[in-house]
Structure 1
Amino acid sequence: MAGARGLGLLLALLPVVSAPMPGTVVRLNKAALSYVSEIGKGPLQRALHVAVPYFLDRSGEVLQPIRIQIVNVHLPQFDLKFIADFGIRLSAAANFTFKIFRVPEPLELTLPVELLADARVAQSSIETPVISIPYCLPLLGYSSDFDDSNSTSRALLALVQEHIRAVLSNKLCLGVASLVQEFNAHLGTLIGLNPVGPESQIRYTMINEPTVTSDYISFDITAVLFLLGKPIILPRDPPPFALPEHVHDEDTTATVGLSQDLLDSALLLLQKAGALNLDITGQLRSDDNPLNTSELGQLIPEVAHQFPEPMPVVIKVRLRATPVATLHPNNATLRLQPFVEVLAVTSNSAFNSLFTLDVVVDLSLQLSVSRAKLQGTTSVLGDIQLAVSYSNVGFIDMGQVRALMGSVFEKPLLNQLNALLGIGISLPNVVNLLYVDPEVFVYEGYVVVSSELFYLH
């Protein structure tokens, strides 16, 4: 409960965003339930390891307290399945081993138990998934360990067994409820801010009740990107995003659908942050920027006239328009439209603007997932389009200048972009949850990540 209150306080401190935000959809399939039952067996065994109070033996003249201790809970069977329009049904079979500290010597007793519980999955007040247990029933068996021939001992042990059964019938469901509360606190970490860059973050929240079918549970989640604490708002209202049924794969643990609008928001963030703006500078002999006034002067006579001695050239690349991503089946592309200014360094270290270019760069976009982040790499498609916007050096024959100019800023621009895309954007996840063996599929207007999940204990 303290965790939930803390998360509620965190949410209250975050900026409120009223405009529609990009949507994502997370589907957890039957394979997810198999994985949860596998890794949850240990925590459930510990939750069922409840304390048993002393049994008071009234058979003698004086009350004799008999200490009882659970020494082992073995869970040979633990299954989960979806209940359509409700949540998840839990069924488990356990064998409890007790040590009864009787006189003259202790006795071990084994008791079989079947546990049935229904877990309802809903949306919490802090817009995270929340699980409740409206129904829980322990079915208690009887021990067959009575091998003591003394009828008095057998009678005592029968009473002890009834005492244990009464305790378990009350406490086992409380143990399950306690385990679920811990799990809810963990699910609450969905709303935390995850860094995207030094000054930017992303936050996911649920926007409605989850959809539960007999095959999967689906969560509609909205994503908000922040730059310097302010939300990134697209210039248009994103339409609701729904993940089509045909992308469902019940053999995969998780299926995550990411709308086109999420990519658009990330690209708008890059543009607003000025992350793709760069200055390409160099000396007269520089591998990073081999361009100088002498080389330009061979193609543009006025440059040679203004700079008879070779001087370094500086290239300023500014992204004035938001990059545009396009998603078609099995094909993702990205268009950049930077504005490039070419300046020459004068003898007194001042800068003279030579000319400016409007540039269009079409890129192939390859998406991948590492741990819990969506990452990208790009490569140039076709030729870079260059057009003179303004010139202080007269007529420029772009047919002659194009190859020289493109080679100078293409590599630094791609290096900068790929470094940023390599940082990645966190996918919807909770603390310590990783995406394993992910595959990324591109459809018309959205991206799907199909992945196994791994929880770091």
Structure 2
Amino acid sequence: MFPWYQLALLALIPMTLGVNPGVKVRLTEKGIEYGRQIGMAFLQQKLKTIKVPDISGTERVAPIGKVQYSLSRMVIVNLGLPESALGLVPGSGVNLSIQKAFISLHGNWKVKYLRIIKNSGSFDLEVNGLTITTAISIKSDDVGRPAVSSVNCVSIIGSLDIKFHSGTSWLYNLFSEFIDKALRDLLQKQICHLLADAISELNLHLKTLNVLAPVDKYAEIEYSMVSSPAVSKSSIDLNLKGEFYRIGQHQEPPFSAMRFSLPPQVNNMLYAGVSAFTANSAGFVYNRAGAISLYITDDMIPPSSPIRLNTRTFGAFIPEIAKRFPALMMKLLAKTVKDPIITFEPNNVTLQATGTVTAYAIQLNATLSPLFVLNMEASVSAQVYVTGTKLAGDVTLNKMGMTLETSYVGDFEVRFLDSIFSMILKVAVIPMVNAHLEKGYPLPSLGKMSLVNTKLQILKGYVLVGTDLQFRG
């Protein structure tokens, strides 16, 4: 069972860095309520497994004098948390309150009095009207993940009823008052201690938060907090860095995240805004890593195409190619020369790429002979969607423009090659780009979290994902 209201707990991480977030996350009242339901089920199961320590003491009881007593082997046989509430304190954090809780215990008792007389048996204890309140303190661990602890816990027992088995009734009456007080004091302290342990155990699950999420062999995304969260009466807003980095080389791009705000939304449990900064930081990383380059060969073009990647096809437009390199296959190298630029406008995602295309003739001995180098400006439109807990997409070519940078085969009109390169981009380059985009990029998530009823909007400057949550046990 996924423990507690982990997403809500993230809202208390005390961080105050003055950096605009690349990703914003909002947990709504609907999400908080879902977390409370899951949390209470987890807490109830957790508390049922607690071990109550033995207690013993000595009391002077008239008329027999000193009575030594002990209660041992106490186990919880039933526990209920019928009423609970998770409250947000604006500007402060999260409070948990539990009302009308009850606990049933079974254990052994033993007394000794008049130095030599002993008696023992078993007992059943019913605790009713138990009230528990606590605040949750959260700090960052040494790698930037949240670490939680219980503070200011108070537990109050409404009523306590103990039934002894074996022994004699007059003996119960002599020391039951002292046993009642000892048990009440123990349980009120122990319940808060056990609750603190249960909350502390959440740290094992919070460590699954993908603060640094691997993408591929080139990149990873950092989702650490960049500012203190905004806690209101109805929601928690989290500000995450949301920046791509090259693995092992955390170099900042020559641009910064711009401020943006999530619009009011209440239908889903959680909303996440992924800004253009996040997308453009990916372009920066992949371009610097040399990953946005591609060799294009004839086998990447559909067999049915009348246009082939050889000197015969290109020689029809550039005679010098056919003359100097007859009947040879060709290879193209497409690569970016600037970081691609991604823009988000309402219902529209556009990517602008600036690069070069170098054409080679493949000699019979596999040597590459350069033919020409073209400058290329391309614009593509993107469709963005959520798959699992990842943001994915696919692109289509809008337009392309080319100019001649260098020619090794004399001057020629580049416009004659427009249709050829447009076809090559559509049938060879775009499908490979889409195959990579289809793999997706991880959104901030916890280990056993699934997204359901997901909706996506393209707004100015960012993509808004609205989703409900489902946690697997």
Match of 2:94 among 65, 88, 94: 88
Paired residue for 1:133? 150
Aligned pairs for 1:411-450 (under 5 A) are: 411-450=427-466
1:304 pairs with one of 317, 322, 326: 322
Q: Counterpart of 1:35 in 2: which secondary structure?
A: helix
Q: Distance in 1 between matches of 2:141 and 2:297?
A: 53
Alignment of 1:41-120 (within 5 A): 41-45=40-44, 46-47=46-47, 49-55=50-56, 63-67=68-72, 68-93=74-99, 94-101=101-108, 106-112=122-128, 113-120=130-137
> Aligned partners of 2:276 and 2:401: how far apart in 1?
25
Structure 2 residue 376 is matched with structure 1 residue 350: no
User: For 1:283 and 1:441, how far apart are their aligned partners in 2?
Assistant: 38
Alpha-carbon separation, structure 1, partners of 2:177 and 2:386: 59
Residue 393 of structure 1 aligns to a residue whose secondary structure is coil
Deviation at 1:79, TM superposition (A): 2.1
Select 1:376's aligned residue among 393, 396, 402: 393
**Offset of residue 434 of structure 1:** 3.8
Distance in 2, matches of 1:19 and 1:35, equals 32
Deviation at 1:338, TM superposition (A): 2.7
Q: 1:213-232, aligned counterparts within 5 Å?
A: 213-232=232-251
Following superposition, the deviation at residue 440 of structure 1 comes to: 2.2
> How far is 1:346 from its partner?
2.7
Q: Please, what TM-score do these two structures have when normalized by structure 1?
A: 0.83
**8 A Cα contact 1:87 1:121, kept in partner:** no
| Residue type at the aligned position of 1:26 | V
> Residues 140-155 of structure 1: matches in 2 within 5 Å?
140-143=157-160, 150=169, 153=172
Q: Give the structure 2 partner of residue 290 of structure 1.
A: 308
Change (3 A) 1:124 1:351: closer
How many pairs are equivalent? 435
Counterpart for residue 270 of structure 2: 254
Q: Which moved more, 1:115-124 or 1:84-93?
A: 115-124
Q: Which whole-Å CA distance do the structure 2 matches of 1:209 and 1:164 have between them?
A: 42
Cα deviation for residue 150 of structure 1 reads: 4.9
The reply on whether 1:174 has 2:197 as its aligned counterpart is no
**CA distance, structure 2, for counterparts of residue 114 and residue 100 of structure 1:** 23
> Percent identity among equivalent residues?
23
User: Aligned partners of 1:334 and 1:19: how far apart in 2?
Assistant: 29
Which residue in 1 is equivalent to 2:295? 279
* CA displacement 1:235-293 (0-9 Å, x = unmatched): 13434x3424xx23234222222222111101111211222211112379973983211
Distance of aligned partners of 1:42 and 1:385 in 2 relative to their CA distance in 1, 3 Å threshold: same
- 2:3 maps to what in 1? none
List gaps (5 residues or longer) in structure 1. Answer: 1-17
2:420 to 381, 387, 404: 404
> Is 324-333 or 146-155 further displaced after alignment?
146-155
Structure 2: how far apart are the matches of 1:427 and 1:106? 55
Q: Which runs of 5+ in 2 are unaligned?
A: 1-16, 110-118
- Counterpart secondary structure, 1:258: strand
Q: Which moved more, 1:253-262 or 1:318-327?
A: 253-262
Structure 2 CA distance for aligned equivalents of residues 417 and 233 of structure 1: 25
